[in-house]
């Protein structure tokens, strides 16, 4: 590739950043017409993946007589499997579109707001190009597939996720766990597809975090008096909104996991407070953690801004005091109508903005929104602790 073409590619990458428009899976989906160049056709992807992952489980469990009865946890009463393949996968696909929309303009905003010094422009373009190389890596996605089968299925699912009871997918024998036909399809086809999709999500977040970390190594031209109170990085908070659908998907998975153990194994909801709190923290780390890399620069900008604008304010206030309170004003000059008062107020407002700078480009609303979206799917499980009427009565007692 010649230098002009490479420069043009870097410019397009900076203008239309994407974590999803590349990689072996994306190319496969394009060839099978399950997506286009803009990541549309989401409905096709949902239908195709559902037909491959969920429908065979229904057919096989029905043929084996485990769909409605015959075991402690029949297929149709297994909340986890239905949420995993009928709710979480569509949400993961929808989240790609939302994140694509929210972070696509981030590199362009760094340029449009002149945050990148001209001397560091090659480093910034190199960070964008590096993110694209990692996103398009064949080796990375092959390793994800290996990890899914070696760790996700054989270790995590069999030892930590699968229920310790007779289910539609497995039964306990003296020789160990025996998978049914539906269980074989679940363990070797359906579950790996789901785990690959969610691990691919985590890998894309790693690319995002790595890109932001590389940008944070550049000495950004932050403005302490910027009204967004994060030196001009306020646009990064919009990227957090893109992860709300991912938070909903993870919350739904947690809710289904807990529901199966509450309804079929008799465990109380209170036994899972650690898991619930851990999921909230995990989602916050996924969505907000990558933005924390800018904290050192924002803290430094706040310190420098406080010192410099404090010095400027002291100089102006002293001049104002000398002029208007110590007889320094020219004869006949009136304070009324003078711009000095407005300038004094503007300077005070600027100093307050500097003092109110946040050291992370994250708002309280971002934190609360992610927590609510994550916990919302778990809320119906409160009905397992008390009747709906009692829950409503207690809520009304708190509100009124």
Q: Specify the pLDDT at position 233.
A: 92
Q: Specify the pLDDT at position 164.
A: 64
DSSP 282-350: HHHHHHHGGGGGGHHHHHHHHHHHHHHHHHHHHHHHHHHHHHHTSS-SPTT--STT-SHHHHHHHHHHH
Q: Specify the pLDDT at position 48.
A: 93
Residue 55's alpha-carbon distances to 82, 117, 313, in angstroms, are: 10, 54, 70
Give the CA angle between residues 137, 138, 142 to the nearest 5°: 125
Euclidean distance between CA atoms 214 and 126, whole angstroms: 9
Mean pLDDT by 10 residues, the chain (400 residues): 44 65 88 87 91 93 89 87 93 91 88 91 93 92 88 65 71 72 88 91 94 94 89 88 91 90 83 91 93 93 87 79 69 64 77 86 90 91 70 60
Euclidean distance between CA atoms 320 and 254, whole angstroms: 62
pLDDT per position as a tens digit, 48-89: 999 999 999 999 999 998 888 888 888 898 888 999 999 999
Give the CA angle between residues 256, 152, 157 to the nearest 5°: 45
b/e 28-57 (16+ beta carbons within 10 angstroms → b): ebeeeebbeeebeeeeebbeebeeebbebb
Q: Specify the pLDDT at position 1.
A: 42
Q: Specify the pLDDT at position 4.
A: 47
For the chain, the 3-state helix, strand and coil shares in percent, each to the nearest 5, are 70, 0, 25
pLDDT per position as a tens digit, 312-363: 878 877 877 777 666 666 666 666 556 667 777 777 788 888 888 898 898 8
Instruction: Collapse the DSSP code of 179 into the 3-class scheme (helix H, G, I; strand E, B; otherwise coil) and give the result.
Output: strand
Q: Specify the pLDDT at position 13.
A: 46
Tokens of 379: 């809320």
What residues does each domain of the chain span? 3-299+362-399
Residue 72 gets which letter from DSSP? S
Measured in whole angstroms, how far is the alpha carbon of residue 189 from the centre of its chain? 27
DSSP 114-178: T-S-GGGHHHHHHHHHHHHHHHT-HHHHHHHHHHIIIIIIIIIIIIIIS-SS-BSSEEEETTEEE
Euclidean distance between CA atoms 344 and 280, whole angstroms: 45
Tokens of 246: 């991912």
């Amino acid at each position: 590739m010649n230098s002009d073409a490479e420069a043009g590619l870097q410019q397009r990458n900076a203008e239309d950043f994407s974590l999803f428009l590349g990689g072996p899976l994306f190319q496969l989906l394009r060839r099978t017409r399950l997506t286009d160049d803009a990541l549309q056709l989401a409905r096709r992807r949902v239908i195709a993946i559902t037909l491959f992952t969920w429908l065979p489980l229904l057919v096989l469990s029905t043929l084996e007589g485990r769909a409605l009865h015959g075991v402690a946890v029949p297929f149709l009463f297994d909340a986890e499997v239905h949420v995993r393949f009928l709710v979480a996968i569509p949400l993961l696909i929808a989240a790609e579109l939302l994140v694509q929309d929210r972070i696509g303009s981030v590199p362009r905003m760094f340029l449009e707001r002149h945050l990148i010094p001209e001397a560091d422009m090659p480093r910034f373009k190199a960070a964008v190009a590096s993110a694209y190389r990692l996103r398009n890596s064949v080796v990375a996605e092959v390793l994800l597939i290996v990890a899914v089968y070696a760790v996700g299925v054989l270790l995590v699912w069999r030892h930590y996720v699968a229920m310790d009871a007779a289910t539609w997918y497995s039964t306990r024998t003296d020789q160990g766990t025996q998978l049914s036909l539906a269980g074989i399809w679940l363990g070797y086809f359906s579950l790996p597809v789901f785990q690959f999709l969610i691990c691919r999500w985590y890998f894309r977040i790693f690319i995002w975090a790595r890109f932001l970390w590389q940008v944070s190594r550049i000495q950004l031209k932050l403005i302490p008096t910027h009204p967004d109170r994060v030196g001009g990085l306020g646009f990064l908070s919009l990227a957090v909104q893109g992860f709300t659908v991912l938070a909903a998907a993870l919350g739904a998975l947690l809710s289904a996991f807990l529901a199966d153990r509450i309804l079929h194994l008799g465990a109380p909801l209170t036994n899972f407070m650690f898991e619930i709190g851990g999921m909230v923290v995990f989602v916050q780390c996924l969505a907000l953690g990558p933005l924390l890399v800018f904290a050192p620069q924002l803290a430094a900008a706040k310190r420098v801004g406080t010192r410099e604008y404090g010095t400027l304010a002291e100089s102006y206030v002293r001049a104002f005091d000398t002029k208007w309170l110590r007889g320094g004003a020219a004869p006949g000059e009136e304070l009324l109508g003078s711009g000095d008062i407005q300038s004094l107020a503007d300077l005070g407002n600027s100093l307050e903005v500097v003092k109110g700078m946040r050291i992370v480009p994250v708002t309280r609303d971002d934190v609360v929104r992610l927590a609510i979206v994550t916990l919302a799917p778990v809320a119906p499980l409160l009905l397992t602790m008390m009747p709906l009427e009692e829950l409503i009565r207690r809520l009304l007692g708190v509100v009124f």
